[in-house]
Amino acid sequence: MTDKDITIRLGAAAGDGIQSAGEILTRMLSMSGQYVCTYNGNQSLIRGGHVWFHIHAGNWRVTSLGNGIDYMLALNQIAFDEHIGKINQGGAIIFDPKTVKAGTIPAGVTPIRLPLTEIALKYDKRPLMKNTVGIGALAALLGIDRKEIGEVIQLQFGSKGKQIVEGNVNAALEGYGLAAKSFVPTKSLEFDYSKKRMFTHADFALAAGAVNAGCKFYAAYPMSPASPILHYMAINAEKMGISVLLAEDEIAAMCATIGAAYAGARAMCATSGGGFALMQEALGMAAMNETPIVVVDVMRAGPSTGLPTKTSQGDLNMMLGISQDDFPRVIIAPRNSEETFNTMGRAFNIAEKWQVPVIVLLDFGIGDGGYSTVDNLDFEEPIDRGKLLTEVGDEGTWFKRYELTDDNVSPRVLPGTPNGMFVAKTDEHDEYGHDLSDVEAGLQHAVEKRVEMMNKRMGKLTGIAVEMNLPEVAGPADADVTLVSWGSTSNPIREAMRQLWAEGVKVNSVEFCDLFPLRWKEVAKMLRKARHLIDVESNYTAQMAGLIARETGIMIEDRLLTYSGEPLEPAEVVEKVKNVLKKEIGVSVRNKAL
Amino acid sequence: MLETKLYESDIRPDWCPGCGDFGALSAVKNALASLEIEPHNVLISSGIGCASNFPGFIRTYGHHGLHGRPLPVAVGAKLANPSLTVLAIAGDGDEYGIGFNHVVHTARRNHDVKLLVLNNEVYGLTTGQLSPTSVFGQRTKTTPYGSSIYPLNPLSTLLGVGATFVARGFSGQVKQLSELIQAAIKHRGFSIVDILSPCVTWNDIYDNVRSRMYSLDTVSHDRTNLHAALDRSKETEKIPLGIFFQNEDSPSFDELLHKTVNNRFPVNEVKHMTEEEKKVAISIFS
């Protein structure tokens, strides 16, 4: 089997149905045994503007967006103009000459002129099905079996009735027939119709993983790109018995999550950076009263409102420093949908075992904005609720909820348990949860207890670090260049390394999924083995490089950074590595549209 | 009736001698004992301020949280364990100032949590600044020449947003207050009891309240009549005490949620998905 892959892009105005067209095509490819990775170039509007959908598919595990565009469907002028220059040699662009005026078409790119609107109007009063005709045409270029078309359209539109399904199938088949006649494909895929692959984005994967981990309480206020998590929970609330609270704001969402966790539920809330800023005081509360919660930030480009539908990894510093004074927090940034699903059981276990807030960082690129194949979902991560007591002896007025122990974790009891009464305090408190902050503040015993309590809470980090995963090293142990990344930036790096290896370049990567706390001495040892380090991430100040410098003293000065809102492409990583090998060292910044 | 000593804490309240909050504390203990709700089945969620020091002065489960946020914590806890009696107890700064947004929406959604606001019409613990319920003309540290701001009327506002139980009590009348709190706890859904609880240090309104108060039980007030309730809540010369309004026909948020999603709380059931649930969970993945 030879490695084969292809890139496809669909462009139109918002409201033209490009999202569902992209999904149909992604589904067709997945049902034909392909691995997929997609990116949703959408805008913060409902109608008009320009939106596009990019698909990279292949018979090998694609992780990123591939290189350029092989086949393009342009439903309006701006889609044509904006993307024509990115089409690869040997590629093709499908458009309707009635709606799109083709300017100069680069040599080596084949224009395929099809009467998309005219065909669409045969099956409906409105020309909406022109995207379905286009899907049929693309399917023909890809060489997908015609039979797949009916099956997938049935899946997508089945709920809308027989007439709509039939109209769409016929429209697609007509597009298929015309395109097959007018173009001889230059690039092909290797299909295996017996392999039906699943795909999803990290938002849904996170929600499903959380529910499998026993999460029965979810609270949120809508915010892009975290809203799909809320939608997933709402859709599945009845079948899974999940209490879903659409709160009045993010402060309430976070506080209700803490209330639910305090009362014993595995509870979670999610938002994006702006909402997280509102949650910050309560994040400190969870750490102070040692209530286990999982909080999710699906990052988008900021600052402030920023670019609501564009991607970024700009919130790491925020997560490291959010809320007043020092308290233990755990930060995990899964790299893709599959890893996100498989992380959630661990996230809840760490939260409950160590009685701390656990932050999961996703970004638009792998969250709401991008699908990827999920092959290996681990449903069996054991549930560990830590020191959770189900009964308590009658030992006095109050339960020693914040008892000082060797591992800094105190036995926990849930409201409703006889003899277990205590006060979960945000004031500094003694072992029973009583104030050290008012009538005792400043007294010798209270001063000593305050120090003990700070040591207890912060001491958890040492124990947690032992359980956290070290970064994964991908590629050969012996490499001239080592790429350092966290979360989703490992995806373009993986594809870039394939190309570089094929050209004989010795390159590997160190990819952080667990970010904090870590066994930093071991991390330092890993990084010191590298001959030349390049930090790759999606923010202005190289925030991960900053964390690494803070914890290990290793300063990575060679960097590939993007804060354009667009995800990194493998080609840019390739270029950066080659430049470094030519001794062109320094900070490189991306500013191209995808 | 249970013995009130079951609820006795070994922590002495740090309120000033004569503080109205002592009366409220006695009334809450008496109400819980009268309703025979055992201490371990009670959760009191509070905020920040004198009134919010309440948990710990009474032996129940407590959550002493953030300024203005007692209600969302209470809402989450009640959803997670519906068998708990969940009270939110805080001051007028917490509930009518920084956290009023939560009061409005918790009332609107009719969550089954009971809000007791110890309203002293001043910010006490921060040493006497103007609060949202401070009266026009009130002299405080922030209004040295007298306030030129009209106060919030919490009762008429909450009647307006659809609260299903609205009452006012006085911490100088412990027995009547206990009865109001009992009625609030028994109510189906959200209830608010605004408790006039004088601050002897910054705003001593004991005499003022005593001279103007009357009980709604002594007049012919129909508590099922929203318009009558609004009229009573708007009175300024006299201070009506008692239940202004009660609507027991509306199901609580919690009732509706447990009916529609059949959530399987409490929590001794944290476990993986069933095979059936797994299929549902990933059906969206293909």
Cα separation, A85 vs A374, whole angstroms: 32
Q: How confident is the model at residue A12 (pLDDT cuts 50, 70, 90)?
A: very high
Average pLDDT over residues A405-433: 97
Task: Test B73 with A243 for CB contact under 8 angstroms.
Answer: no
Q: Is B170 within 8 Å of B95 (Cβ atoms)?
A: no
Q: What residues of chain B lie within 8 A of the CB of A213, using their CB? A: 272
Residue B246 backbone dihedrals phi, psi, to 5 degrees: -150, 130
Q: Give yes or no for A435 touching B (CB within 8 A).
A: yes
Domain that holds residue B85: 4-285
For A:176-235, CB contacts with B below 8 A are 196-200, 204-205, 208, 211-214, 216-217, 219, 232, 235
CB contact under 8 A, B280 and A27: no
For A4-22, b/e burial (b = at least 16 CB within 10 A) is ebbbbbbbbbbebbbbebb
Domains A200-374 and A472-590 share a fold: yes
Question: Chain A partners of B263 at a C-beta cutoff of 8 Å?
Answer: 216, 237, 241-243
CA–CA dist B192, B114 (Å, integer)? 6
Cα–Cα dist A102/A262, whole Å: 62
Quick one: how far is CA B157 from the chain centroid? 15
- How many independent structural domains does chain B possess? 1
* Strand bridging mode B61-64 / A330-332: unpaired
CB pair distance less than 8 Å for A262 and B74: no
B81, B268, B272 member nearest A212 (Cβ): B272
Which of B59, B69, B84 lies at the smallest CB-CB distance from A415?
A: B84
Residues B120-141, mean pLDDT to the nearest whole number: 95
Cβ–Cβ below 8 Å for B282 and A255: no
Q: What are phi and psi of A58, to 5 degrees?
A: -170, 170
Nearest to B56 among A31, A237, A434 (CB): A434
Q: Which of A240, A255, A269, A344 to mutate to test the interface with B (most CBs of B within 10 A)?
A: A255
Contact A422 B273 (CB under 8 A): no
Integer angstrom CA distances of residue B208 from A229, B2, B212: 53, 35, 6
Residues 6+ apart with CB under 8 A from B283: none
A–B: how many Cβ contacts below 8 A? 232
Specify the pLDDT at position B195: 98
Decide if pLDDT at B265 tops 70: no
Using a CB-CB distance cutoff of 8 angstroms, which residues of chain A are in contact with residue B59? 397-398, 421
In this prediction, residues A522-538 reach a mean pLDDT of 97
**pLDDT at position B262 over 70:** no
Chain B residues in contact with A211 (beta carbon < 8 A): 273, 277, 281
pLDDT beyond 60 at B267: no
Please answer whether residues B7 and B33 qualify as being in contact, where contact means their C-beta atoms are separated by less than 8 angstroms.
yes
Q: Is A445 exposed, middle or buried (0-12, 13-18, 19+ CB in 10 A)?
A: exposed
What is the spatial distance between Cα A260 and Cα A270, in angstroms, rounded to a whole number?
15
Mean pLDDT of A337-342: 98
DSSP state string for chain B: ---GGGGB-SSPP-SPTT-THHHHHHHHHHHHHHTT--GGGEEEEE-SSTGGG-BTTBSSEEEE--TT-HHHHHHHHHHH-TTSEEEEEEEHIIIIIITHHHHHHHHHHT-S-EEEEEE-SSBTTTTSB--TTPPTT---SS-TT---SPPP-HHHHHHHHT-SEEEEEETT-HHHHHHHHHHHHHSSS-EEEEEE--BTTTB--HHHHHHHEEEGGGTT--TT-HHHHHHHHT--SSEEEEEEEE--SSPPHHHHHHHHH----SSTT--PPPHHHHHHHHGGG-
Q: Minimal Cα distance from A438: which residue of B?
A: B14
Percent share of chain A, pLDDT over 90: 89
Q: What is the overall mean pLDDT for chain A?
A: 95
Neighbouring C-beta atoms of residue A476, cutoff 10 Å: 12
Give the pLDDT score at A22: 95
pLDDT digits (tens, 9 = 90+) for A215-256: 999 999 999 999 999 999 999 998 888 999 999 999 999 999
- Could you tell me if B111 lies within 8 Å of chain A, comparing CB atoms? no
Map residue A496 onto helix, strand or coil. Answer: helix
Owner of token pair 């006490």: B124
Q: Which of B280, B282, B277, B268 is nearest to B80 (CA)?
A: B268
The mean pLDDT of A162-185, rounded to a whole number, is 92
Residues 31-60 of A with CB under 8 A from B: 31
Q: Long-range contacts: A427-433, Cβ < 8 Å, 24+? A: A427/B64, A428/A453, A429/A402, A429/A453, A430/A402, A431/A400, A431/A401, A431/A402, A431/A403, A431/A404, A432/A398, A432/A399, A432/A400, A432/A401, A432/A402, A433/A289, A433/A398, A433/A401, A433/A402, A433/B56, A433/B62, A433/B64
pLDDT higher than threshold 90 for residue A312: yes
Beta carbons of A252 and B105 less than 8 Å apart = yes
Its ipTM equals 0.97
CATH architecture of the domain A5-196 equals: 3-Layer(aba) Sandwich (3.40)
Tell me: pLDDT of A343 over 70.
Answer: yes
Q: Which two tokens stand for residue B100?
A: 């009023």
pLDDT of residue A593: 84
**C-beta neighbour count of A43 within 10 angstroms:** 16
**With contacts defined as CB-CB under 8 Å, which chain B residues touch A255?**
65-66, 69, 72-73, 76
CA–CA distance, B112 with A489 (Å, rounded to integer)? 45
pLDDT tens for A277-292 read: 999 999 999 999 999 9
Q: What is the CATH number of the domain that holds B215?
A: 3.40.50.970
Q: What is the pLDDT of residues B13-25, one digit of tens each?
A: 999 999 999 999 9
Rounded to a whole number, what is the distance in Å from the CA of A62 to chain B's nearest CA? Answer: 17
* Domain layout of chain A by residue ranges: 5-196, 200-374, 387-467, 472-590
Q: In which order are the strands placed within the sheet that holds A559-562?
A: A472-474, A507-512, A481-486, A533-537, A559-562, A587-590
Distance from the Cα of B27 to chain A's closest Cα (Å) equals: 20
Q: For domain A200-374, say whether CATH 3.40.1800.10 is its number.
A: no
Q: Please indicate if any CB of chain B lies within 8 Å of the CB of A265.
A: yes
Which of A248, A278, A383 has the highest number of chain B CBs within 10 A, making it the mutation to test binding with B? A248
What is the C-alpha separation between B152 and B134, in angstroms, rounded? 8
Residue B263: pLDDT band with limits 50, 70, 90: low
Contact B39 A421 (CB under 8 A): yes
The CATH number of the structural domain formed by A472-590 is 3.40.50.920
pLDDT at position A405 over 90: yes
